[in-house]
């Protein structure tokens, strides 16, 4: 039941005057059809505004540039290569993987998307505060919108660190004060703690409301901020929130890891938050990437030149998985082939059934693809516009497995090894692997194995203090042209990672528009 969250998008966007989402997204356009004054006064109409506040979440994959959150993040790590045709094919992502971004070549679409979401979340809060609603309903709307706003700030904070902050929408000349990354952290986590302590949101939503922010989603965001900030003083609070999710009994691990990624298991019991995409009736199209509908990710990361497959649809050959990560799985670990498609093995399995499968192999080809989001046959059925841009694959943001690993890490960092071991064991037991003693190094590796291609690895290396050690020039091996052996340097133009690479350069357009109030990051 994932379709509800975008049902009223067109009406909600029109009423908010935010149908166009370019650089002038803060400008309220005069409407000749719907008057804004006095419009958002009923619960039904505020529901429209809430829906519109979620909408920018589904723009990240393709809006004013390609920016699937997991691919941009993981390409900066050691598990994922960008791939595609060459280094000029989606050059910004290649530059991110090489630590060579510039103020002109980066992800300004993600910047605009995030502030569009913040703007819309602020509007909901302002309207809910003024509306004549029961107090509990009003508190719910305000809490929900503070969580969506925190999500958007989380993207800005991780990408750029030192960004403009505002929690009340701007007036002319639409310039907000740039805050340091530490200030952003303090402001947003205070907001989240207020929401969490208020208990205004349910631990888990009903099936019909899946896609709305929950208490568990807010708690996972809080832990994400705290752990990336390495704020030791807040570890006990973050751990308490993780334990509250666990003890609620409302979430559990799926028995079969590979099943998590199938369409029928979106919003399964393991899912804490997903970005909703839908194919049926999807109207996203080239030039209209912010329209409601599906995602481009399965086309983008699909196996290039694929033919004969009874299961998957081919694509453009981005997001190759590294041989190094595939090889560190234990043979019994169901996460390896449940999350990664090994073409050599898949071709052999199909051949045993009399099915001939072939594929091409583009730049940085490893023969290993991210099975989690590869397009399944029928996965974009019902799209009314571009099939490539309207795949029915939700992006998983937080899963219960991460709750358990967060809790294990936070318990270990606060001196409770016994509790850490319990939570660590639960994740490894589902994976069907041998027992290990919990340690920070083992937790870092466990997160790597669990979250390949989910946008976690790079940030984990940074916060564990391992980025400079692991992210070295060149890096990894890829298949030769004959696909017979790994004999090519995987990322030949990568620089050595340094601390200055933690935050990307702020887009030049934003520097200029801010009239001297934005200081560029020292990338």
Joined together, the tokens standing for residue 213 give: 């922010």
Q: How far apart are CA 150 and CA 127, in angstroms?
A: 18
User: What pLDDT is stored for residue 122 in this prediction?
Assistant: 98
Q: Which domains does the chain have, with CATH numbers?
A: 3-248+502-513 (1.25.40.390)
Q: What is the pTM of this model?
A: 0.94
What value does the mean pLDDT take over residues 454-472?
98
User: Is the per-residue pLDDT at 299 higher than 90?
Assistant: yes
For the chain, give the mean pLDDT.
93
Return the pLDDT at 35.
Answer: 54
Scanning the structure block, which residue is given the tokens 């051949």? 351
Contacts of range 230-238, beta carbons closer than 8 Å, 24 or more positions apart: 230/463, 231/185, 232/413, 234/189, 235/410, 235/413, 235/414, 236/410, 236/414, 237/193, 238/406, 238/410
Residue-wise pLDDT tens digits, 78-121: 999 999 999 999 999 999 999 999 999 999 999 999 999 999 99
pLDDT in tens, 215-258: 999 999 999 999 999 999 999 999 999 999 999 999 999 999 99
In the structure, what pLDDT confidence band is assigned to residue 504 with cuts at 50, 70 and 90?
very high
Residue 298 scores a pLDDT above 70? yes
Report the pLDDT value the prediction gives residue 66, as an integer from 0 to 100: 87
The C-alpha atoms of residue 290 and residue 265 are separated, in whole angstroms, by: 25
> Percent of the chain beyond pLDDT 90?
89
Longest Cα–Cα distance of the chain, Å, equals 69
How many alpha carbons lie under 13 Å from residue 368 in its C-beta half-sphere? 22
Residue 23, pLDDT above cutoff 60: no
Indicate if the pLDDT at residue 328 is higher than 80: yes
The mean pLDDT value for 276-283 works out to 97
Mean pLDDT, range 5-15, rounded to an integer? 40
- pLDDT tens-digit profile of 141-167? 999 999 999 999 999 999 999 999 999
Return the pLDDT at 36: 62
Residue by residue, DSSP assigns 170-181 as --TT----B--H
Residue 56 has pLDDT above 80, yes or no: yes
> What's the pLDDT at 5?
52
Give the tens place of pLDDT for each residue, 205-214.
999 999 999 9
Window from 57-71, 100-114, 196-210 with minimum mean pLDDT: 57-71
């Amino acid at each position: 039941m994932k379709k509800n969250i975008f049902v009223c998008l067109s009406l909600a966007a029109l009423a908010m005057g935010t149908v166009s989402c370019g650089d002038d997204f803060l400008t309220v356009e005069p409407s000749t059809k719907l008057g804004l004054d006095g419009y958002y006064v009923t619960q039904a109409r505020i529901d429209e505004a809430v829906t519109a506040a979620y909408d920018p979440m589904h723009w990240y994959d393709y809006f004013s540039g390609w920016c699937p959150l997991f691919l941009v993040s993981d390409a900066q790590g050691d598990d994922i290569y960008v791939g595609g045709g060459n280094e000029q094919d989606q050059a910004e992502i290649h530059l991110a993987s090489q630590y060579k971004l510039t103020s002109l070549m980066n992800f300004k679409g993600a910047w605009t998307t995030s502030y569009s979401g913040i703007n819309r979340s602020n509007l909901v809060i302002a309207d809910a505060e003024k509306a004549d609603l029961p107090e509990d309903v009003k508190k719910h709307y305000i809490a929900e919108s503070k969580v969506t706003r925190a999500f958007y700030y989380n993207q800005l904070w991780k990408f750029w660190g030192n960004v403009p902050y505002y929690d009340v929408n701007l007036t002319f000349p639409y310039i907000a004060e740039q805050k340091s990354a530490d200030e952003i952290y303090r402001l947003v986590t205070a907001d989240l703690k207020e929401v969490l302590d208020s208990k205004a949101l349910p631990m888990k939503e009903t099936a019909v409301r899946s896609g709305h922010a929950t208490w568990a989603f807010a708690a996972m965001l809080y832990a994400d901020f705290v752990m990336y900030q390495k704020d030791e003083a807040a570890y006990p609070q973050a751990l308490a929130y993780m334990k509250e999710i666990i003890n609620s009994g409302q979430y559990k691990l799926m028995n079969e890891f590979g099943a998590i990624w199938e369409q029928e298991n979106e919003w399964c019991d393991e899912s804490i938050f997903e970005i909703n995409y839908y194919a049926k009736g999807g109207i996203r199209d080239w030039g209209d990437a912010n329209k409601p509908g599906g995602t481009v990710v399965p086309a983008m990361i699909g196996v290039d030149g694929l033919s004969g497959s009874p299961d998957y649809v081919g694509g453009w050959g981005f997001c190759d998985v590294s041989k190094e990560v595939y090889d560190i799985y234990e043979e019994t670990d169901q996460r390896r082939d449940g999350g990664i498609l090994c073409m050599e093995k898949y071709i052999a399995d199909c051949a045993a059934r009399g099915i001939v499968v072939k594929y091409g192999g583009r730049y940085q080809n490893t023969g290993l693809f991210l099975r989690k989001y590869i397009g399944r046959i029928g996965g974009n059925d019902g799209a009314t516009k571009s099939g490539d841009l309207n795949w029915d694959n939700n992006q998983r943001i937080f899963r219960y497995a991460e709750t358990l690993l967060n809790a294990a890490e936070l318990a270990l960092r606060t001196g409770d090894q016994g509790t850490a071991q319990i939570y660590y064991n639960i994740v490894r037991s589902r994976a069907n692997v041998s027992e290990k003693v919990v340690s920070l190094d083992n937790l870092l590796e466990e997160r790597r194995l669990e979250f390949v291609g989910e946008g976690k690895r790079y940030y984990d290396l940074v916060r564990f203090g391992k980025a400079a050690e692991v992210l070295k020039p060149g890096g990894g091996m890829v298949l030769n042209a004959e696909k017979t052996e790994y004999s090519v340097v995987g990322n030949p133009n990568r620089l050595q990672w340094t601390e200055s690479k933690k935050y990307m350069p702020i887009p030049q357009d934003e520097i200029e528009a801010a009239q001297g109030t934005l200081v560029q990051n020292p990338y």
